[in-house]
Structure 1
Amino acid sequence: MLTGGLPVTLSADLGFEPAPTDDHPVVNVSWNDAVAFCAWLSQKEGLTYRLPTEAEWEFSCRAGSDGRFAWGDDATQLLEYGWCGGSGTHPVGRKKPNAFGLFDMHGNVFEWCADHDTPYGDELAIDPIGSRGSWRTKRGGSWRVDWMGARNAYRTGFDPTGRHDNLGFRVVRVLGTDVER
């Protein structure tokens, strides 16, 4: 949440044992909060930051793989790359990265994307930042899900004002000229 132009930490007491530290992903942040944070960070640094589109997120997660996961189809390797089926968030960057060097793309927390939650098959599904619908897309699975929810292609929607203990975000820094979508 942003107050007076500065980020404010939301309550860290979500009942996790042990309690999260600064090494854990940010959670309990709405889509609106994540977008406001990107705007604040952009203004603070003089660069452009935003949430990834679904297409960008999936491309980054797959890291060249055409399998169910960044490393292929073997779900038994999931715990080498991500945190799933647990009891809370975990420090980031402690599992193996994907081929692009990105950590925690599978599990730990779902991540907000810029897009509306548009069903596949719709003409907007290629890169669906369209104006239809009110829910936003979240990707990546979380500590609460099994391997099915942590697949590259798994996606689900959520109310942009909603917050959850397994929902956070990562930012994209735009290089060069930012094109308004």
Structure 2
Amino acid sequence: MFKNHKTNLKRRDLIFGALLGCGLTSILAIKRNKISATNTLAARLELKSFNFETVKVNEFGEIIDTKTRQAKEFIEDLDKSIQMEMVAIAGGSFTMGTSENEEGIWSGDSSEPQHEVHIKPFYMSRYLITQEQWLTVMGKFTVDPKYKNGRLPIAWVDWIDAQDFCQALSKITGKKYRLPSEAEWEYVCRAGTTTPFHYGETITTNLANYNGNYDAYGQGPKGENRGKATEVGQFPANPWGLHDMHGNLLEWCEDVWFNSYYGAPSDGSARSLIGWKLGRNPYKVVRGGSWITGPHSARSAYRSEYRFYRRLSRIGFRVACSLS
């Protein structure tokens, strides 16, 4: 799409400005028109239950509990053989951010201060968007993948590429797809837990794809360095049925980057700057850790930022879908 970041920066500013304008128009339209319950996405979908296995570890990374759980999802048929599984996420409140005694933070950490956030019900893709899903929706790769395997998550996509995918997917399906807000992402990653990882107090490379050559987290063990992304769904799900929330690829979120949570919204919406110029303040939030980063970066509360036009082998995304 845009092969030269420097020469196309102004063009991206114009595109983003148009998208922002459309977003504001949509918000005003929603305020003017009450949406009846029969028109909501939830009323039109056929949700199906699915079973999945979760594990819990102790402070040494040893599995101490295994459970079979159940969640609900709807299936988006992208092609005859390509589907996307969208998990129903119930609304609720949670404490966002890092606790003071959590290992791996420092004074003034960007994931402070902790604050209560209320999340409305929505849907989140069970897996990172894969290469086969990207190719089905977009028709071609933005950057030719160094490894071609349909079940591998799509990488080498920047934030605008992810927005383009959401827009194309929305047009194909008639639903409103978007990137999750940072708050929604952490809410789903934690899945009701308050520990550094949804697995427990630590993590191992048997449970997630991160660089095990780094120092272990807490009293957990060092592990394997796979040196690349792995197929989606290779590791146990979190308690709400989503995979790879820790590691594999960092994930683009909707939000503009801020250095702390001071002034962050409490309703789960994405943080933005009205009138923001991409060329002057181009950072967007990424979450989740990756195959190249250590376990500290895979924590539920960990957050980082990249320029919106960066395409890297460590960054991908998953999508969200609102109920209405």
Q: TM-score, normalised by structure 1?
A: 0.86
User: Partner of 2:210 in structure 1?
Assistant: 84
Amino acid at match of 1:108: N
Task: Give the structure 2 partner of residue 113 of structure 1.
Answer: 253
The answer to whether structure 1 residue 142 and structure 2 residue 290 are counterparts is yes
- The alignment partner of 1:28 has SS state of coil
Please provide the CA RMSD for this pair: 1.8
Q: Does structure 2 conserve the Cα–Cα contact (< 8 Å) formed by 1:20 and 1:89?
A: no
Query: 2:148 and 2:236 mapped to 1: Cα distance?
Result: 21
1:113 partner amino acid: C
| Amino acid aligned to 1:137 | V
**Structure with the bigger percentage of strand:** 2
Unaligned 5+ residue runs, structure 1? Answer: 14-18, 177-181
Find the partner of 2:271 among 104, 122, 129: 129
| Whole-Å separation in 1 of the counterparts to 2:262 and 2:305 | 15
Structure 2 counterpart of 1:98, one-letter code: N
Match in the other structure for 2:189: 61
Distance (whole Å) between structure 2 residues aligned to residue 97 and residue 54 of structure 1: 20
The higher radius of gyration belongs to 2
Distance 1:23 1:121, change over 3 A: closer
The alignment partner of 1:79 has SS state of: coil
Q: Deviations over 1:120-174 (max 9, x none)?
A: 1431365552216420000000000111010001110001111000100000122
- Residues in 2 aligned to 1:44 and 1:128: alpha-carbon distance in whole angstroms: 24
Residue 8 (structure 1) aligned with residue 140 (structure 2): yes
Count how many residue pairs are aligned between Structure 1 and Structure 2: 167
Task: Verify the 8 A CA contact 1:48 1:174 in the aligned structure 2.
Answer: yes
Runs (4+) off by over 4 Å: 125-128
1:10-25 matches, cutoff 5 A? 10-13=143-146, 19-25=147-153
> Is 1:43 paired with 2:166?
no
What does residue 35 of structure 2 align with? none
Matched-pair identity in %:
34
Q: Is the partner of 1:137 in helix, strand or coil?
A: strand
SS at match of 1:81: coil
Structure 2: runs of 5 or more not aligned: 3-136, 212-225
| Structure 1 residues 80 and 25, CA gap change in structure 2 (3 angstroms) | same
Q: TM-score, normalised by structure 2?
A: 0.49
Query: Which of 280, 292, 299 in structure 2 is aligned with 1:151?
Result: 299
Q: Name the aligned partner's letter for residue 243 of structure 2.
A: F
